[in-house]
Structure formats: structure tokens, C-alpha cells
Amino acid sequence: MAELDSLREPDYTGSNRCWPCTLVNVLLLALFVLWLRVRNRRLMGLTVATLGVAGIYLRGYVVPYTPQFAPRLVAASPLPNDLFYDAGVDTPEAERPSLTETDLDGETVLSELATAGVVESDGEILLLTDAVDAAWHEEMDRLSALSLSALAAETRRTLATVSEADTFTDGAEWVVLGGELVGRPVVVAELAAYRVLDEYVDDESVRLAGAQSFRMFLDECPMCETALVESSEVSCCGGYTKPNQSPDETLVCPECEQRLFTFPSE
Ligand SMILES: [Zn+2]
């Protein structure tokens, strides 16, 4: 099996498998085999079918450039998208981008934080003040040293909105809140920010929303200290999450394979 594994293309198989690409490839392969049969090339058809199925299994797809057209083709087809992408909210597969939900808009939150002396503008850009930044990093260092289950317990103790917090590991590490997954580095950054804001902000909803916005000031992962990279939110090999929409820009830790921040789309 070692030879087979060396042929495997992990980017397009396993949990990364793109189902629209797979489906389109199986259909195209079947059409080609049928065409060979019609032309009485039975043996050729059998060989192509065998190699094609093996190729799709091991490599994700065999028709060149499939990732560039298959997801959009399937998105444009009348097939329901849920067939191909996880839509479930009850499974612990659903990721949620932050510890809390907020209905405050970003601009209100930032202006409240500026009034409270948490952020200051440096020309065009907003920055955390030095004192806040130092306190935040100190608290993140403390929280990142906790075990995952201790972090979940700490989340429950700290946030009144959280009554239950579990843990889940699938290669990446998560805290489970109400059946939804929040990445461990996200929890560390946000919980630390929430604590620091205690001194500066009285309004609970501003404090919660403010803690979320802190993550955009991260330049390295609070768990593993890897430099974050900007990426775009693409559900699979070149196919956008939704048709006719450009992907959101995100900050990602390549080491933990987790998303730290999603910049709101314009
Ligand atoms: Zn990381």
C-alpha cells in the first residue's frame, strides 16, 4: 500500500475531497467509457474505467482543470448544495467564528473602543494602545498554556452567555459551544481580550463584540506563535462558497490550520 499512498493527493482526497469535482469526474468518465463501448472498444473501455476510478479515488480527480470548473458547474446546477457541503448545525462539524454572537456593527464597536482608550489611530490605521496590547498578550500567554479542557472550563466560568463548554479534536482543536466549534486559538485570543476589556468597558455587549474585534490585530497565532497568513475563504479547490460572490479575506494559522479572523466583506 505504500506505493498507493505515494500516489495519493491529500489536497483533494480524504476530508479535503471536493464532492462536486468527484461527481463531475465520475460522470465524464462514465460518458467516455460508454462512448468507447459504442465504438466496440470494450477492453479499452474497461481499462479506462479501472484507471479512471482509481485515479479519482487516489487523486481526487482525473480530468485536467476539474477544480476550476466543477464546483461552479455543480453550484449552477439544480442539485441542492447541501448534498456537497456540510450544512448541518447540530453536528459538531459546524464552525462558528467567535465565542459570542453580537449584533453590534464593527464601526460602532471600534468607535466605542476608541472612546474607552483601547484603540488609537495611527494615521490611517487603528492600533491597540501599548498598555492594552501588552495586557492582552500576557493573558493570551497564560490561557494558551492551559490544557484544552481547562480552557473550555475557563470559558464557561468567564462568560455568562456560556452555560456549557466541551472539547473536540479532529486534527485541529476546538471548544464546543452549543454544538458549534470554536477554534482553540480563537478562544484564547477572545477570552484574553474579554478579560482585558473589563478595565475599560462597562457595557457587556461592547465588551463581547470588542473582544471579537481584537483578533484582527493578531499577527501571530496565540497557540503556536506561527505568523498568520492572509487567505481567502474558499470551500474547495477554486470553487467559491457561494456562486456569484467573491470569497472573504481571512487570517489563518497555517500550523494549527485554523482561521483567526474573517474580514467583513465590502
Ligand atoms: Zn497556530
More confident residue, 147 or 16: 147
Gap from CA of 222 to ligand 1 centroid (Å): 7
Q: What's the gap in Å between 216 CA and the centre of ligand 1? A: 15
How far is Cα 101 from Cα 98, in angstroms, rounded to an integer?
7
Q: How many CA atoms lie within 13 A of 243 on its CB side?
A: 12
Dist. CA 21 → ligand 1 center (Å): 30
d(CA 242, CA 240): 5
Q: Distance, CA 224 to ligand 1 centroid (Å)?
A: 4
Give the Å distance between the CA of 90 and the centre of ligand 1: 26
Task: Name which of 2-16, 105-119, 131-145, 183-197 the model is least confident about.
Answer: 2-16
Please tell me the distance between residue 257's alpha carbon and the centre of ligand 1 in angstroms: 7
The overall average pLDDT reported for the chain is: 86
DSSP character for 142? H
Q: Which of 69-73, 85-89, 172-176, 212-216 has the lowest mean pLDDT?
A: 85-89
- pLDDT tens for each residue of 70-91: 877 877 777 776 666 654 434 4
Distance 147 CA to ligand 1 centre (A): 15
CA of 226 to the centre of ligand 1 (A): 6
15: its cell numbers: 476530508
- The span from the first CA to the last CA of the chain, in angstroms, equals 48
Q: How remote is the CA of residue 223 from the centroid of ligand 1, in Å?
A: 5
pLDDT at 11: 79
